[in-house]
Structure 1
Amino acid sequence: MELQHFCHPKHPLIFNEEKIYDKYCYGCQEPILDSSYSCIKCKDYKFYHHKSCAELPLMFHHPLHPIHPLILINESTRHPEKEISRCELCKDYCGEYSYHCYRCNFNLHISCIVVQLEAKFHDHPLTPIGKSIIFTCDICGKEDKDVPNLCAPCSFWIHRKCGRFPHKVKVVRHKHLLHLTHSSLELHQFDSRFCQLCVREVNIKYGLYYCSRCDFVAHLNCAIAKENREDINLLEFKDEDDDPEFDEFIDLVAYKVKKTNVGEDGTEIATEIEHFSHEHDLKLTNEVLNNKKCNGCVRDILPPFYNCAKCNFFLHKSCVELPKKRRHPLHEHPLTLLSVASNKRKFFWCYACKRFCNGFTYLCETCDFKLDVPCSLVPEILTHPGHEHRLFLSSIPSDQNCNCCDSKVFPIFRCTICEFALDFKCATLPLFTRYKQHEHPFTLCYTTEDDSGEYYCEICEEERDPKHWFYYCVDCSYPAHPKCILGIYPNIKLHK
């Protein structure tokens, strides 16, 4: 469907039923969250328009100015060197388009004209009431002075811009479509809910995105945020429970079994394997080694593990069993396991913990998104010994700092009961580790070792923050910063 529009006489505007995000309507300057018109020939500026803005009548008779017709104009071309006009009704700036009377210099914002709004998430048309009043929007829940759109049979009041929220979206974190609902009937059994994208409370009296099959709830703005939404053609999407494409793991084994033994319980144990990451066969061992790291997760090697008799190469049994492909809630595309980074320097920057690593990489070949092994294994709902409540993955940036190191990073885990947050760097700290030639292991501790009021690191001899996590040797009463125990680059293995 084509439309010859007065703002762009060179080419026709083409109707696009798919959702187009991160674009703003040329006419009203509001985000485009649904179908639109645009010019497909002008690459630099495509003149995106809401469907309703593109189909506005060129002339309009309004009861607030009955003596003359109002003409649809482009404000920037009418007087490009002057300030854009203000609407006589809502007193706001008119944006690019406005309805104007040349004789009386009367202006109306295009959102304030009496044109019915068709919102796909509501059964009836919505009509502007014709004047600016103070009201609470039944979609966003904000009290505002504006020209509301009203459904009289339902006593339903919303901002015009809220009527443009898409009635369904697909987010990375959930396999089904989310539908916009502004009725709390489905959620009546709950007094309060939290958004499963930002882990903040949701007021169920107003609009939200919801999956009734999985009881998945999300704020409106969280669901349409760039970092959360999955930019797909919803018309072609199959919203099915048994779609294997949206399983968390994609079953591709990374090794071949060469030899096996039968254990005491009768199960077969792979004692010798061929792993895709190494040229030689690897053998299973329960030997205790000091100061050796796994080539997969770059953590201290602990039994049982596989090693190479010819090379200084070690893999935890759990790292051997990592799938070649998998999905992760932080990214929309499948991730592929690589044994080395795909760049010349052979190390990479992990998106989650913000650390350099040269172990195995989970890589998105489309977006160059990367995760190290420890971060790839952290679940969306985390139970950690350092906190009494469950922690939920938040995929929306916020001002909240990690309680364990005070860093402000994204993504982060949040507690829905108390104001506790944990970043990936702290969530993946090893619970036990060793330090150089120290004879005892160190344990990750979450509370101070005593009530002396003076806390120092025995390695760097600098003061420790008592609120931050630290490593402690109980046998030697030896506390230390995590960075002093693990090093500045704990995820880098030095190859000898």
Structure 2
Amino acid sequence: MAIDVFKRFSCSWCHEPLTDAIYVCFDCLLKKVSTDSFIIHKKCLDELPTEIDHLTHRLHTLILNRSDSDYLCNLCQKQHSGPYYGCSLCHFNINVECAWPRSTVEDRSHHQHPFTLLRRQYSFICDACGTEGNCISYICSTCSLMVHKDCTSLPRIIKFSRHDHCIFHKYFLKDLTRQDCKICFNEVKLDRGSYSCRKPGCNYVVHVNCVLEDERLYKVIEDEKQCEELEEKSMQSSIIRVIEVNEAGEATKIQHFSHQHCLVLADKMEEEIDRKCDGCMLRISNILYYCSECPFFLHKTCAELPRIKQHWFRQTNATLNFDSFLRCDFCHQYGSGFFYKIREYWDMCLRCAKVADIIECEGHQHFLFFDFKYREKCNGCGANIIGKGAFRCGKCRFALDFGCLTLPHSVLHKIDEHKLKHTYHDDKEQSYCDICEQYRDPSFWYYSCSICDTSAHPECVFGQFPFLNDGVTIPPYYFNHHHALKFFRKVEGFPECSRCGKFCQEEILKCKSTCSYIFHYKCPRGQY
């Protein structure tokens, strides 16, 4: 950081302008440096007293020490490294910043009045965040507030990824009944600080510590005008041009970014065929856009999705792309169609992108919310959840990953003349899959027909590539072949597998070039 930035602040020890060599609190440096950051001249650090008596630990004198590894400060309850005061007999440590706090903190961008240091031996409840504090507090005598040191500089306005509007910090909320935090789903104390939405009819309220826990999920907003600018920039339509509209104002003919021809609005498919949407790869059963020149179809809702939007998974814009073959980083399914690219790191299929962070699920009696820190098992399939979190229940030990949550409610399969429905409970002690004829764990979700008593594993019903279009090209590096491959769900005749010599029947991968290389995905000599 440029030294000119620090010249605007003063030393936390001598309160003189910052010149020459300085030390900065590492935690403060990670955040935006402000008037309450701990910055000290090198010469002042060298002059710190080697022993102090502190009101928080009156039994023994505290000795100045230095640690290159992390230690816990007993006052702020945070990990620090560097100089600290400690009592080796009681294992009591205080970060230097907490031992010598500023007497006054004043920053009108966060609060209209100055905060004054109040030293006391007892704990208190912070009016800004509603949690307990130890010994060192700051008070605003004008507003009768008592807050943590860190809470003197809470951002007034933030844009949180999991809500469409900007949210504002308030010390108390009027005219509301009980509110639960939309992140942890525990009660928000209305007479304590929280963040809430100002939009009429929007009762979005969250705890301060919940919403500020992960810096990747929020952005500090300087003023209300910036909120309006953000909302305008965050939406960009995927419909390039509206060509025709009906009397109701609906677009009946459009040009869409994903297709070279114009698309026409229709109430339903002209023929009773099992056709998939080329955006989400799910069966089309309602209003759609279709191409009159080639077999291309989109649900109306998929066609109208924004090309650029902010997705709740990260505080950044996600861009909608069209791809013939890609792996979703959330449900881990290979697929064709629309994918949102999030922060250049993750590809999210449309089925996952349409899931809100708080949902109701047919397979569970309570609503579920997304927990970024969840690392246990999925109740739908039993898989270990690693990396990105899961949707969990706030009232009981139940959680689902993206893969189970986005499975279709019903599906057609040759094993049964009726549609198989997604089923969540099985009272049988012994259950078997009617497709693979292997044991099926009755505690996990499955597909069934109640008329025929058919039941099957989801993976047996869908196969390996349920969301791929026939004939799509797959890059050679996916399957260790020197040419690109084409995927076919079925193939005429029973060609011999180039790998194991058995006959290929379903889910075939065939060389796009002239080498006649062909194999079935489940070939025992080709596990990937």
Does the TM-score normalized on the shorter chain lie above 0.5? Answer: yes
Q: Who is 2:177 aligned against?
A: 190
Say if 2:406 is the partner of 1:428: yes
CA-atom RMSD, angstroms?
Answer: 5.0
Cα deviation 1:81-120 (Å, max 9, x = unaligned) = x9999999999998434689xxxxxx98331226324274
Q: What letter corresponds to residue 259 of structure 2 in structure 1?
A: H
1:443 deviation in Å? Answer: 1.0
1:320 deviation in Å? Answer: 3.7
**Is contact 2:217-2:313 (8 Å) kept?**
no
Distance 2:74 2:241 in 1: 72
Cα deviation 1:368-416 (Å, max 9, x = unaligned) = 543212222234543443344444x436323465443344364544455
**Is contact 2:277-2:297 (8 Å) kept?**
yes
- Write out aligned runs for 1:342-381 (5 A): 346-350=325-329, 352-364=330-342, 367-381=344-358
Distance 1:243 1:89 in 2: 38
Distance 1:489 1:317 in 2: 24
**Partner of residue 488 from structure 1, selected from 464, 476, 496:** 464
Q: Who is 1:173 aligned against?
A: 162
Distance 1:161 1:421 in 2: 34
SS in 2 for 1:96: strand
1:317 deviation in Å? Answer: 4.5
Q: CA 1:479–1:257 in 2, change beyond 3 Å: closer, same or farther?
A: farther
Q: CA 1:198–1:465 in 2, change beyond 3 Å: closer, same or farther?
A: farther
1:221 deviation in Å? Answer: 3.1
Q: CA 1:171–1:129 in 2, change beyond 3 Å: closer, same or farther?
A: same
1:361 deviation in Å? Answer: 1.8
Whichever structure has more strand as a proportion of its residues is 2
Distance 1:84 1:267 in 2: 65
1:488 deviation in Å? Answer: 3.3
Say if 2:42 is the partner of 1:51: no
Q: What letter corresponds to residue 158 of structure 2 in structure 1?
A: V
- Write out aligned runs for 1:299-448 (5 A): 299-302=282-285, 313-340=296-323, 346-350=325-329, 352-364=330-342, 367-391=344-368, 393-394=369-370, 396-399=372-375, 401-407=377-383, 408=385, 410-415=388-393, 420-436=398-414, 438-448=416-426
**Is contact 2:424-2:445 (8 Å) kept?**
yes
**Is contact 1:94-1:109 (8 Å) kept?**
no
Say if 2:186 is the partner of 1:209: no
Name structure 2 gaps, 5 residues minimum.
Answer: 55-63, 87-93, 472-487, 489-528
Q: What letter corresponds to residue 347 of structure 1 in structure 2?
A: L
**Is contact 1:230-1:332 (8 Å) kept?**
yes
Say if 2:209 is the partner of 1:221: yes
Distance 2:31 2:337 in 1: 42
**Partner of residue 278 from structure 1, selected from 255, 259, 275:** 259
Q: CA 1:464–1:93 in 2, change beyond 3 Å: closer, same or farther?
A: closer
SS in 1 for 2:115: coil
Q: What letter corresponds to residue 326 of structure 2 in structure 1?
A: F
SS in 1 for 2:169: strand
Distance 1:272 1:93 in 2: 60
Distance 2:253 2:271 in 1: 15
**Is contact 2:167-2:196 (8 Å) kept?**
yes
1:477 deviation in Å? Answer: 0.8
Q: Who is 1:126 aligned against?
A: 116
More displaced stretch, 318-327 vs 271-280? 271-280
Cα deviation 1:6-35 (Å, max 9, x = unaligned) = 99xxxx989xxxxxxxxxx96444455864
Distance 1:268 1:108 in 2: 64
Q: What letter corresponds to residue 217 of structure 1 in structure 2?
A: V
**Is contact 1:209-1:218 (8 Å) kept?**
yes
Distance 2:287 2:72 in 1: 73
1:197 deviation in Å? Answer: 3.3
Matched residues, percent identical?
28
Distance 2:290 2:424 in 1: 34
Cα deviation 1:392-450 (Å, max 9, x = unaligned) = x43632346544334436454445565544433233211111124643211112222xx
SS in 2 for 1:375: helix
Distance 1:375 1:202 in 2: 30
1:269 deviation in Å? Answer: 8.9
**Is contact 1:29-1:96 (8 Å) kept?**
no
Q: Who is 2:428 aligned against?
A: 452
Distance 2:292 2:157 in 1: 56
**Partner of residue 271 from structure 2, selected from 270, 287, 291:** 287
Distance 2:250 2:123 in 1: 71
Q: CA 1:397–1:327 in 2, change beyond 3 Å: closer, same or farther?
A: same
TM-score between the two structures when normalised by the length of structure 2: 0.64
Distance 2:51 2:175 in 1: 42
Q: Who is 2:222 aligned against?
A: 235
Q: CA 1:65–1:239 in 2, change beyond 3 Å: closer, same or farther?
A: same
1:127 deviation in Å? Answer: 1.8
**Partner of residue 280 from structure 2, selected from 288, 291, 297:** 297
**Is contact 1:27-1:97 (8 Å) kept?**
no
